[in-house]
Each structure stands twice: as structure tokens, then as C-alpha cells.
């Protein structure tokens, strides 16, 4: 981990830490003792998808380790400029799935709301790194139109808050959104996809826990941890608080070259998730987004690693290996 003298930064609250997120590659490398790696920076990619990473996440990285699996997830490399056939700006068909402003309707019974384009960190493999959020943000001016669309479709039983990261919004805004959803009788569940408990644990506030515990909806949170090192003591405590508030916790990892593309890392992740009582639900094959080809791992390798996990772990700790394919009625289960 980074030296305590560098990690010992005190922030007033989660918004204070978020406002001080590191956005300069040279500064991040300096903090990790890796100044000599400046030639690896992809300046062109930074124009379209800037570096952004919180101090909490940096604190979990290993000082002096250029191959640190957390650093690899956020650091822009020259490899992002490589053009690879089959990698596109919209690999999972999000644009085609927009049914009304900010609402993606891909699967039966579920509607996904793009609540914000903001994130606490920018993961370089993000499948929405090219998404036009300014054109598809229901909170910008069309929230009531989105609510009206949900009211009209009685087949929708679950609403998914996605983004960006929905927990980048304030508790006041989130609580108001949830209150509107609770008034729609056919909506029974709220699912929140977020990285913030991992990268900004202070985001789990009393107000957040309050509206979760008081909601009439069943609240499920999907936390996107890709490596065991992302779950330190502070994150474990945040997850405990969420569970105590009645939140069901699942994990969806992405299968990433140089991050978790070996049995040891995947087994350690499942074991750590078990310790903090999070279900290891999915291991996603990489969505083939332009700029992320250097993270791609062959499907067959994923199948072999899932088999290795089954030999070492009880079945409930082995995630399902899946791929999202445009136009399919659900995730495609590979293994």
C-alpha cells in the first residue's frame, strides 16, 4: 500500500474527498513512486476520457508496483489508441435500448435509469466511456417524463439505477427519486449499481442508510469489485452498514487482463466477498468497448478459470461467467 504519510489525508465528508479526486497522471504516479512511467500515458485518450481516482482507492494500491491490479484499472495507457476490429463505442447496444429519456429497456420486467454521467473514478474498461450522457440524463430536465413512462408500463417490476454511478448523486436527490418510484404500485424492487462503497466508502452516510432502510422497495446493491484488494477494512465496514440497513449485496466483476485473469486472484476475490457477506454473482467477459482491447481475455480462459474455482470453492462462491450481447433477452451464461 502507499506510505502512510501520503495516505493520511483527512477529508470532511465524501463530497470533499470526491472534489479532491486525482485527475493528473503525473501526480498519481508520483504518489506511487512511479515517476519513471510517464511515457506510458495516453495523452490523446485523456482528452475524451480523463483520469479520475479517489484518495481512498489510491490508498489500496501498492507503492512502487507498476503492475498493481487497482492501478491498472484506472491508469490511461498508450494501448487505448490501438484500433481493434470488433471493439466499438457502443458494444452492448445501449443507444438502441433507449425507450425514453434516460431509460434503457433491454430485459423483460426491468428498466434501467441512467441517473447521472458522473463517477468517483474512471475505469478504463468502462463500456459507457463513449456514452452521450448529456443527451440521455433523466435528471437534467425530464425526470417526470421518465416517471410517467414507468407508470404506463405495468410489466416493469424492477428499476435499476445506473450511470455513471448513481451514488455520485446526493442523498436528498436519491431519496426524492426513490419516493417517486415508491408511488408506482407495480415497481417492487430497486437495484443500484455502484462502485462507491469500494472507491469512496465515506459515501455510505447515515442519510443513505436511512432511506434504504425505510424504503418500501426491496433494495439490492451491486458493487462491482474486480480484485480482493479493493475490499479493505473501511469498505468492509461500509458494506456491513448497508447490510444492516436491509440492503441485499451482490457483486459483478469484470474479467480483466492484468487484474484478475488467474485462478488465484478470482478465488481470493470470492473468499473476500464471502468474508463481507457479498454474493459473487457474475463474472463478466469484457464488453468490447473502443479503447479497452488491452483488457480483453479469451472466453476459453474464463471457462477454464471458472472450472478451477469450482474445484477449490463451494458452488455458492463461484460466479457465473457471462457475456452481454446486443439484442438478447438476458445475459448469456458461458459457464
Cα–Cα–Cα angle for 201, 207, 211, rounded to 5 degrees: 110
> Mean pLDDT lowest for which of 123-127, 192-196, 227-231, 282-286?
123-127
Binding positions for [4Fe-4S] cluster are 119, 123, 126
Could you give the percent of the chain with pLDDT greater than 90? Answer: 75
| pLDDT tens digits, 23-42 | 999 899 999 999 887 666 65
Residues 200 and 307 in one domain: yes
87 occurs within a structural domain: no
Beta strands, E only, 171-244: 189-193, 218-222
Residues 122 and 24 in one domain: no
Domain end point (choices 31, 51, 81): 81
132 occurs within a structural domain: yes
For residue 33, count CB atoms less than 10 angstroms from its CB and return exposed for 0-12, middle for 13-18, buried for 19 or more: middle
Q: How distant, in Å, are the alpha carbons of 54, 63, 69, 79, 102 from that of 59?
A: 9, 9, 13, 25, 34
Residues 325 and 290 in one domain: yes
Domain end point (choices 21, 53, 81): 81
CB 202 within 8 A of CB 232: no
Binding positions are 119, 123, 126
Q: Which residues contact 216 (CB under 8 A, 6 or more apart)?
A: 182
Residues 261 and 318 in one domain: yes
86 occurs within a structural domain: no
Residues 66 and 42 in one domain: yes
Pairing type for strands 158-162 and 98-100 reads unpaired
pLDDT exceeds 60 at position 138: no
Cα(279)–Cα(176) distance, rounded to whole angstroms?
Answer: 29
Nearest one of 82, 84, 73 to 51, comparing CA atoms = 73
- In CATH, what number is assigned to the domain containing residue 113? 3.20.20.70
Q: C-alpha 287: how far from its chain's center?
A: 13
- Provide the pLDDT confidence category of residue 325 given band limits of 50, 70 and 90: confident
88 occurs within a structural domain: no
| pLDDT tens digits, 153-207 | 999 999 999 989 999 999 999 999 999 999 999 999 999 999 999 999 999 999 9
Residues 181 and 38 in one domain: no
Residues 100 and 69 in one domain: no
Domain end point (choices 81, 113, 137): 81
Secondary structure (DSSP) of 235-303: HHHHHHHHHHTT-EEEEEEE--TTTT-SHHHHHHHHHHHHHTT-EEEEEEPPP-BTT-GGG---HHHHH
Residues 19 and 104 in one domain: no
325 occurs within a structural domain: yes
190 occurs within a structural domain: yes
Q: Would the pTM of this model clear 0.85, i.e. be above it?
A: yes
Task: Retrieve residue 214's grid coordinates.
Answer: 425505510
pLDDT of amino acid 21:
98
pLDDT of amino acid 5:
56
Residues 60 and 114 in one domain: no
Q: C-alpha 293: how far from its chain's center?
A: 18
Q: Which residues contact 213 (CB under 8 A, 6 or more apart)?
A: 245, 246
Residues 42 and 159 in one domain: no
| pLDDT tens digits, 118-129 | 999 999 999 878
Number of domains in the chain: 2
CB 92 within 8 A of CB 287: yes
Which residues make beta-bridge pairs with 137? none
Cα(15)–Cα(30) distance, rounded to whole angstroms?
Answer: 24
Cα(56)–Cα(234) distance, rounded to whole angstroms?
Answer: 9
Residues 51 and 99 in one domain: no
pLDDT exceeds 80 at position 243: yes
Range(s) of the domain holding residue 291: 95-333
Residues 104 and 56 in one domain: no
Cα(103)–Cα(153) distance, rounded to whole angstroms?
Answer: 12
Amino acid at each position: 500500500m502507499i506510505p502512510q504519510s501520503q495516505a493520511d489525508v483527512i477529508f470532511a465528508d465524501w463530497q470533499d474527498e470526491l472534489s479532491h479526486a486525482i485527475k493528473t497522471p503525473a501526480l498519481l504516479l508520483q504518489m506511487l513512486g512511479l515517476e519513471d512511467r510517464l511515457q506510458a500515458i495516453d495523452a490523446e485518450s485523456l482528452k475524451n476520457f480523463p483520469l479520475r481516482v479517489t484518495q481512498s482507492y489510491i490508498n489500496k494500491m501498492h507503492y512502487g508496483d507498476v503492475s498493481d491490479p487497482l492501478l491498472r484499472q484506472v491508469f490511461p495507457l498508450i494501448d487505448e489508441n490501438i484500433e481493434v476490429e470488433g471493439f466499438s463505442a457502443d458494444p452492448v447496444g445501449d443507444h438502441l435500448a433507449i425507450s425514453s429519456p434516460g431509460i434503457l429497456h433491454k430485459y423483460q420486467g426491468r428498466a434501467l435509469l441512467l441517473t447521472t454521467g458522473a463517477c468517483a473514478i474512471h475505469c478504463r474498461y468502462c463500456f459507457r466511456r463513449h456514452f452521450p450522457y448529456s443527451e440521455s440524463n433523466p435528471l437534467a430536465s425530464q425526470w417526470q417524463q421518465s416517471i410517467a413512462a414507468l407508470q404506463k408500463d405495468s410489466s416493469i417490476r424492477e428499476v435499476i439505477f445506473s450511470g455513471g454511478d448513481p451514488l455520485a448523486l446526493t442523498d436528498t436527490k436519491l431519496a426524492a427519486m426513490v419516493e417517486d418510484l415508491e408511488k408506482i404500485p407495480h415497481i417492487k424492487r430497486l437495484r443500484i449499481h455502484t462502485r462507491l462503497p469500494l472507491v469512496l466508502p465515506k459515501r455510505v452516510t447515515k442519510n443513505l442508510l436511512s432511506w434504504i432502510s425505510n424504503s418500501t422497495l426491496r433494495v439490492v446493491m451491486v458493487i462491482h469489485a474486480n480484485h480482493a484488494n479493493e475490499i479493505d477494512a473501511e469498505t468492509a465496514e461500509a458494506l456491513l452498514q448497508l447490510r444492516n440497513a436491509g440492503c441485499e449485496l451482490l457483486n459483478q466483476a469484470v474479467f480483466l487482463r492484468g487484474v484478475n485473469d488467474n485462478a488465484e486472484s478470482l478465488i481470493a476475490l470470492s473468499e473476500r466477498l464471502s468474508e463481507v457477506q457479498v454474493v459473487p454473482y457474475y463474472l463478466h467477459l469484457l464488453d468490447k468497448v473502443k479503447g479497452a482491447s488491452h483488457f480483453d481475455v479469451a472466453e476459453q480462459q474464463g471457462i477454464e478459470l471458472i472450472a478451477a474455482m469450482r474445484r477449490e470453492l463451494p458452488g455458492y462462491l463461484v460466479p457465473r461467467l457471462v457475456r452481454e450481447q446486443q439484442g438478447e433477452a438476458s445475459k448469456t451464461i458461458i459457464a
